[in-house]
Amino acid sequence: MANGRLPYTLGRDAPHRLFIGIDANAAGLRALSRRAARERLGNVIYVRASVEVLPLELAGVADRVTVVLPWGSLLAAVARPLVPALAGIRILCQPEASLSVVLSIADRDLREARRLGLPLLDGGHLQDLAIGYAAAGFTVTSVRQLDPDELAAWPSTWARRLAHGQPRSVFQIDARADPASHILGQPSRATRLKSEP
């Protein structure tokens, strides 16, 4: 999430809905978390957690999950994809919840992409993502390339920066949580493996 702008902006614009920002880097969340508290945005919550160990207390709370321009292990989870990590994201979801993922890997990101074991984000790989997403409990409904205006429409600091920077390929994956994919409150296989001695 980088700095927490997405849940802050959405929460400010829709005070009747709850928005939870999750990021492994608490430092990146501090400024907007404090700002949300000062503005008494009781519908915006920030949680420090990694994609590998998402809080089970949030199981089944989300009717929508949004991942915008992830990096590190979250990028690997949604772009390779890594089924155990995606299954952890699925646990956050209500049945039929929507998932939107915005991805971009430019030439300057190739070193990180290799470190994460990511294939090239081309049309063939993006279409093949549906198999991994299905194994994690999601049905991919669309995969498309975003133009700079569509990217800039996301209320995210990085999205706006990249939309106005050097041209790069940006893709959006939309999916739905399969209602029959798991029982809410049951930890994913990934979570069980991490908690076993």
pLDDT value at position 2? 59
Say how many domains are in the chain: 2
Which residue type occupies 121?
L
Task: Round to whole Å and give the CA distance between 141 and 126.
Answer: 12
- Residue-number span of the structural domain to which 9 is assigned: 1-48
- Which tens digit of pLDDT belongs to each residue from 56-79? 999 999 999 999 999 889 999 999
pLDDT value at position 186? 43
Q: Are residues 137 and 177 in the same domain?
A: yes
Length of the chain (residues): 197
Which residue type occupies 13?
D
pLDDT value at position 182? 55
Q: Are residues 106 and 173 in the same domain?
A: yes
pTM here is 0.83
pLDDT value at position 3? 67
Q: Are residues 102 and 184 in the same domain?
A: yes
CATH of the domain at 108: 3.40.50.150
Q: Are residues 70 and 126 in the same domain?
A: yes
Q: Are residues 44 and 56 in the same domain?
A: no
Q: Which residues of the chain have pLDDT under 70?
A: 1-3, 182-197
pLDDT value at position 124? 77
